[in-house]
Structure 1
């Protein structure tokens, strides 16, 4: 995907990476969850039955702007 253009500065050549999640019981990477944030009784996000998508992250080599794309359900 090196032919992607940065939406901030317009340069071509975004570098692939990922958004790390190191919280308790995490899978090591962040996901996008459909719908507004709803908190459960203990303050955590309600996730049951909600689609979760993996996030593809790219960083512009010139201005360091991040571009995020929800790519596929996990």
Structure 2
């Protein structure tokens, strides 16, 4: 099993769906208003604020590294470095 904190490239990352080892690195895009261009992972269940948006203030965020399997298309996601 791969330790998510050590994931920086596709070496050692294996598809949990079909077992392929030649995964393609990428990221999950976020194009919403005021977005930085990439999605982030926030711990805990989704809590909605007064206007329906997610409550995020003061919560730590981690970068999401994504790896796509060229054989079956499955995505492996890892919450890595704090951002």
TM-score (norm 2): 0.85
Give deviations 1:11-66, integer Å, cap 9, x for gaps. Answer: 11110001000011111000001111111111111101111110000000111100
Structure ranking higher in strand proportion: 1
Query: 1:51 aligns to what?
Result: 60
Aligned match for 1:15, one of 17, 20, 24: 24
Alpha-carbon distance, 1:70 to partner: 0.2
Paired residue secondary structure (1:7) = coil
Moved >4 Å (runs of 4+): none
Change (3 A) 1:70 1:30: same
Q: How many residues align?
A: 74
Contact persistence 1:13–1:60 (CA under 8 A): yes
Query: 1:30 aligns to what?
Result: 39
TM-score (norm 1): 0.94
Query: 2:48 aligns to what?
Result: 39
Q: Distance in 2 between matches of 1:55 and 1:25?
A: 18
Q: Distance in 1 between matches of 2:72 and 2:78?
A: 18
For structure 1, list consecutive stretches of 5 or more residues without a partner in the other structure: none
